[in-house]
A and B are shown apart, each in its own frame.
Chain A
């Protein structure tokens, strides 16, 4: 492999979900792109997944391969040498949950713009009208955001929003509790009140695979406490929601997330986004963002 197109050492040394396991087929070579680097993968006769970089022809250089891990229904790889493991989603292993791959979509937007959209409640009434929000219930109430340096992640808690139809399993409007985690610069996990068990929470994760600075493949995983809806219904619900965000994301300018605090105008509802932008700045991330001028 020649020197990588992506020059951001932090981005290079992260783990990325590339494809759901069910789409990695025996002997069939599939291609993908990670941080502008063409990669290919297959399932070997041994059952192991092999991933490698190539120059655009898909050919596998002898002996070359990238690290692989299977996690949360996807295989993950990296172009560098991560110093941390893939973040934990403990709920994934709870026996009574259904873990579902909703879809992987291509989006012409930067990865951090997707993360911010995922953290944002204020757009529900306008973008997910009559599903995740409806006018005049537009208020984003105060919530807490903390940045845990020890776990190196962002946590927003005590978030609440009134929703007409919070999930495939809900039967009417309700105030829904949310918790958001950003455990990876390009991944986020949210927890929201489960329709069937108010004491527990459904989890929805986005794992973003940057193709270029301004285009991505987003993998969506749900871990739900829903024993009535079919997998198909759940997947389609999530696809509908994401399909609504897509035209917004593709109409944001600039596409890369501006980290200069004076580039855009935050309000209190954007607290988590402000902390996220600072966190990216402090990490020194440059891929998919417009760094604040020093």
Chain B
């Protein structure tokens, strides 16, 4: 069975819990004392991930680190419909990779700001982290605005969300914990609502669920 080295308050671990929930996958977790214990920096854990970071999975002996890499692996192996990581369209593969890299940028800024404010990571330059997150959010909001204009609900083209949405969601929705307001990103705020309404969505501590979506008289979501 898949084992996830997990910490509840980690947005990067949440990415994997989300995908596994969307796919209905069963998995085990091993709780890591990320805070205050710093267990991810222990010698024992560095043998699992020399970077000393969460998340890591162990799937029958295959040990993988990096949330984005693991999303690709899990979706490729366990999504029978190939919806979360479609592999037959070169353009789409490129777009997903682009936004996954962008998601790492969100981790480097929005998550860093949250670690600074919430867990006292005092070496982080908080002003730079917040400014960096706002720079990325402006780009994402613009992208999502024009996606909506083109009738597209998700970050990448197509009528189904992809691993790119999962990779971007956690540290967008948790940004306020780093003092980063999303008030001026209305398209991001709407996308967050849509994301929360994907069947199988689960929350993490710090994330609230959405209410029921709108369906018209014919039962069609609008």
CB interface residues, A 217-242, toward B, < 8 Å: 217, 232-233, 235-236, 239-242
The interface residues of chain B lying within 8 Å CB-to-CB of A233 are 31
Complex Cα gap A159–B133 (Å)? 43
Whether A239 and B9, one on each chain, are in contact in the complex, defined by CB atoms closer than 8 angstroms, is: yes
Does A101 make an interface contact (CB < 8 A)? yes
| Cβ-defined partner of A244 (8 Å) among B33, B36, B205 | B205
| Cβ-defined partner of B179 (8 Å) among A108, A235, A236 | A108
Known contacts A108-B117, A239-B205, A250-B176: A101-B36 contact under CB 8 Å: yes
Give, as a whole number of angstroms, the nearest-CB distance from A11 to chain B.
Answer: 22
Whether B33 and A105, one on each chain, are in contact in the complex, defined by CB atoms closer than 8 angstroms, is: no
Whether B206 and A247, one on each chain, are in contact in the complex, defined by CB atoms closer than 8 angstroms, is: yes
Contact-residue bracket for chain A? 20 to 34
Give, as a whole number of angstroms, the nearest-CB distance from B14 to chain A.
Answer: 11
Whether A103 and B120, one on each chain, are in contact in the complex, defined by CB atoms closer than 8 angstroms, is: no
Contact-residue bracket for chain B? 20 to 34
Give, as a whole number of angstroms, the nearest-CB distance from B95 to chain A.
Answer: 31
Whether B118 and A246, one on each chain, are in contact in the complex, defined by CB atoms closer than 8 angstroms, is: yes
Complex Cα gap A268–B11 (Å)? 38
Whether A103 and B117, one on each chain, are in contact in the complex, defined by CB atoms closer than 8 angstroms, is: no
Does A251 make an interface contact (CB < 8 A)? yes
Question: Which B residue sits closest to A241, measured CB to CB?
Answer: B205
Does B177 make an interface contact (CB < 8 A)? yes
How many pairs of residues, A versus B, come closer than 8 Å at their CB atoms?
55
| Cβ-defined partner of B8 (8 Å) among A104, A105, A236, A250 | A236
Does B208 make an interface contact (CB < 8 A)? yes
Known contacts A104-B36, A106-B119, A233-B31: A240-B176 contact under CB 8 Å: no
Known contacts A105-B119, A106-B117, A107-B118: A247-B33 contact under CB 8 Å: no
Does A198 make an interface contact (CB < 8 A)? no
Complex Cα gap A122–B35 (Å)? 29
| Cβ-defined partner of B206 (8 Å) among A106, A215, A244 | A244
Does A284 make an interface contact (CB < 8 A)? no
Whether B9 and A247, one on each chain, are in contact in the complex, defined by CB atoms closer than 8 angstroms, is: no
Whether B206 and A246, one on each chain, are in contact in the complex, defined by CB atoms closer than 8 angstroms, is: yes
1/0 contact trace for A106-117 toward B, CB 8 Å?
Answer: 111000000000
Interface centre among A215, A217, A235 (most CB of B within 10 A): A235
Give, as a whole number of angstroms, the nearest-CB distance from A186 to chain B.
Answer: 18
1/0 contact trace for B26-53 toward A, CB 8 Å?
Answer: 0000010101110000000000000000
Whether B33 and A235, one on each chain, are in contact in the complex, defined by CB atoms closer than 8 angstroms, is: yes
Interface centre among B9, B119, B122, B179 (most CB of A within 10 A): B9
CB interface residues, A 24-60, toward B, < 8 Å: 31
Does A23 make an interface contact (CB < 8 A)? yes
Complex Cα gap A108–B175 (Å)? 13
Question: Which B residue sits closest to A232, measured CB to CB?
Answer: B33
Whether A243 and B205, one on each chain, are in contact in the complex, defined by CB atoms closer than 8 angstroms, is: yes
1/0 contact trace for B99-140 toward A, CB 8 Å?
Answer: 000000000000000000111101000000000000000000
Whether A247 and B120, one on each chain, are in contact in the complex, defined by CB atoms closer than 8 angstroms, is: no
Whether B8 and A247, one on each chain, are in contact in the complex, defined by CB atoms closer than 8 angstroms, is: no
Complex Cα gap A251–B177 (Å)? 10
Mark A residues whose CB is within 8 Å of B. 20, 23, 31, 101, 103-108, 215, 217, 232-233, 235-236, 239-244, 246-247, 250-251
> Can you pick out 20 interface pairs between chain A and chain B where the beta carbons lie within 8 Å of each other?
A20-B36, A31-B122, A101-B36, A103-B36, A104-B36, A104-B120, A106-B120, A108-B177, A215-B117, A232-B31, A236-B31, A236-B33, A239-B35, A239-B205, A244-B205, A246-B118, A246-B206, A247-B176, A247-B207, A251-B176
